[in-house]
Amino acid sequence: MEYDELYKLIKSRRTIRAFDSKPVPKEVILKLLESARWAPSAHNRQPWRFVVIYNEEVKKKLAIELSKKLRADLEQDGLPPNFIETKVKTSVNRFVKAPVLILACLTMEEMDKYPDKKRNKAEKIMAVQSVALALQNILLTAHSLGLGVCWRCAPLFAPEIVKDVLNLPREWEPQAILEIGYYNNAPKAPERKEISEIVRWIE
């Protein structure tokens, strides 16, 4: 792939929060997962694990259980009831209406272990970064196939709820949920910082 083509793909990708009703075939999801497994990872341990959710009842149960935690957090923050109600309702609707959800987890089973906390913490960060790289592959592949994706981090705030609803292995640590589907309209390009704002050159 030429640079210009790749740059166009990267630059035109958007976060999509509303999908049409067109189903996403399993063969298409397999393409996304295939691209994910070719992402680079720390020590090539490939610490990512994925759960693909098509089942409507499971999506609904997951959305409702997560919404309880969201509601409790927002109430604890002292936010207005109307704001909380809108936020919770929107969150549930998005999970339920997305044609497919992909839950991304990490596992530390095959990562290196050290006798000190500092290196173990670094190893955990490396695993998290590896999962993020796999998810970026999914986002770009989905965009190339005409699919929209919204990356949601709700599992980080309620990992035990996610593990319980989906009956995950103990070692799988929920990281993010991708809402995936076909869509009609993409939002405008978001503002980006200039290179001069984010780069320090040492020459």
Q: Would residue 25 count as lying in a domain?
A: yes
Structural domain total, the chain: 1
Q: Is the pLDDT of residue 185 over 90?
A: no
What pLDDT, in 10s, does the model give residues 81-132?
999 999 999 999 988 999 999 999 999 999 999 999 999 999 999 999 999 9
Q: Would residue 89 count as lying in a domain?
A: yes
Which pLDDT score is estimated for 35? 98
Q: Would residue 79 count as lying in a domain?
A: yes
Which pLDDT score is estimated for 1? 78
Phi/psi-derived region of residue 90, left when phi > 0, alpha when psi is between -120 and 50, beta in every other case: alpha
Q: Would residue 137 count as lying in a domain?
A: yes
Which pLDDT score is estimated for 157? 96
Q: Would residue 5 count as lying in a domain?
A: no
Which structural domain, as residue segments, surrounds residue 143? 18-182
Which pLDDT score is estimated for 110? 96
> What CATH number has the domain bearing residue 130?
3.40.109.10
For 39-76, give one letter per residue: b (16+ CB within 10 A) or e.
Answer: bebbeebbbbbbbbbeeeeebeebbeebbeebeeebee
Q: Would residue 87 count as lying in a domain?
A: yes
DSSP 144: H
Gap between the Cα atoms of 14 and 51, Å rounded: 23
- Percent of the chain exceeding pLDDT 70 equals 100
pLDDT band per the 50, 70, 90 thresholds, residue 136: very high
In the predicted model, what is the mean pLDDT of the chain? 96
Q: Would residue 196 count as lying in a domain?
A: no
Q: Would residue 9 count as lying in a domain?
A: no
